[in-house]
Structure 1
Amino acid sequence: MNLRVRRRPVRYARIEVKPDGEVIVTAPEGFDVESFLQRNSSWLEGKMAEIDGLRELAESGFPVNGEFYGVVRGRKARIHERFKTVVLPPYPDELREELKRFLRPRIEELIESYAGRMGVSPGKLFIRSQRTRWGSCSGKGNLNFNLRLAAVPPELREYVVVHELAHLKHRNHSRAFWDFVLCFYPDYRPAREELNKWWGVLELNPYWRWLEGRE
């Protein structure tokens, strides 16, 4: 087990399992971490089994639009939707740009579809490689979307767009915010759970690890 112990002045110890399988225990000085892990062994085994399942899925190809495409090595990056293949170029920058070209029109189409109905006027659209979130909305109304959205099923991408557009009405995650999201994306709860699974898949996928400079 890949274990990391963080000693912090906290009142209660806690366990966190990262998508890549790393186990992090945060506990005060002098706390018996080994006994703590033994008491939580059943829960921990379940989480590790879940990650093993995600790892098997993650290694089945290059994820695009919720599917796993075959990978071909080549000189120029390209996504072939018809043949379900991705041409992997020598350098990740080239593939990142190709994924941006793939993702941008799909995001723009969703914004155009929802903004009027939701009564919002978004600012500029940015697509970036982000390590902690699927999207964000700036104080100026600009929308930022994670390049990882090229990998997920279209309906999950749709939820993220609705979520960020809703922040143009409600800046926090208040009850009013979630009620507003519910009006336009009723299945937001299962969508959030599915997005968590896809985040884990992308953390484990060898091609996205290369793409994001994690290998």
Structure 2
Amino acid sequence: MRKYTITRSNRKTIAIKINADSSLEVKAPVNLSKNKIDEFVNSKEKWIAKHSERISNNYFLKKQFELNFGDFILVRGQNNQIKPVDGKRAIYNKDKKIFFIPETDKQNQIKEILIELYKKIAHNHINKRVNYFKNKMDVKPIKIGITSAKTRWGSCSGKNSVNFSWKLIMADDKTIDYVIIHELAHIKQHNHSKKFWNIVESIMPDYPEQKKKLKILGEKLNKENWE
């Protein structure tokens, strides 16, 4: 029997969560017996084994993740190199596709500087594309935000505020556009109904291809530690 922790609440169903370090958490209704939970966990053994291995591998890769001078990282789907520069100011050269980072031997510092530059790049590019598509789609988001969301590329609130993860800027231009179109479409349809997907398709007929590319990028980032 696998070891697990139990989190009880007023929920009606039981669910299993595999944490980043492969530890197991069971979310269960308040009154569900321990025996019933054991039975449920045992019935999901194959599923747990399969996903635990993947999550464990990703966890190991995240622990090994480093950023060094000379490495290449993605901006709008293209490789850009990290290079040292004299002085204290970090600069992104869009034309040369180079991140110039002040010389340091601290890898965490390199990452922190890169993330701040990424946020600025994402803010500039995504805001321009949102403004383009909001006119094309005849929608009016009340706010455009760039966030550090860990599990979402984008979101649209009930009040029609749209937000995008800065990591989205690593995707290629068309995939970035897809996520923007997706969130702006939610201003008209706050769901994933057929009407919603019809709106997305009317603007980007090949959106399923962009979803596939987004999934591939997500799998790549799951093996990297950008937190």
Work out whether the TM-score is over 0.5: yes
Which amino acid is the alignment partner of residue 129 of structure 1? S
Which amino acid is the alignment partner of residue 43 of structure 1? W
User: Based on CA coordinates, which of the two structures has the bigger radius of gyration?
Assistant: 2
For structure 1, the residue ranges without an aligned partner over 5 or more in a row are: 210-215
| Pairing 1:187-202 to 2, within 5 Å after superposition | 187-189=206-208, 191-192=210-211, 195=214, 198-199=217-218, 201-202=220-221
For structure 2, the residue ranges without an aligned partner over 5 or more in a row are: 102-106
Q: Percent of counterpart pairs with the same letter?
A: 26
| Pairing 1:1-215 to 2, within 5 Å after superposition | 3-8=4-9, 10-18=11-19, 21-27=22-28, 28-51=32-55, 54=58, 59=65, 63-65=73-75, 66=77, 75-79=88-92, 82=96, 87=101, 90=109, 94-138=113-157, 141-189=160-208, 191-192=210-211, 195=214, 198-199=217-218, 201-202=220-221, 204-206=223-225, 208-209=226-227
- Hey, what does 1:212 align to over in structure 2? none
Q: Could you report, residue by residue, the CA deviation over 1:22-71 in whole angstroms, capped at 9, with x for unpaired residues?
A: 53322333235455434322222222343356557764767533567666
Q: How many residues align?
A: 208
Which amino acid is the alignment partner of residue 27 of structure 2? T
The separation in 1 between residues aligned to 2:48 and 2:216, in whole angstroms, is 17
TM-score normalized with structure 1 length:
0.69
Moved more, 50-59 or 163-172: 50-59
The separation in 2 between residues aligned to 1:170 and 1:137, in whole angstroms, is 10
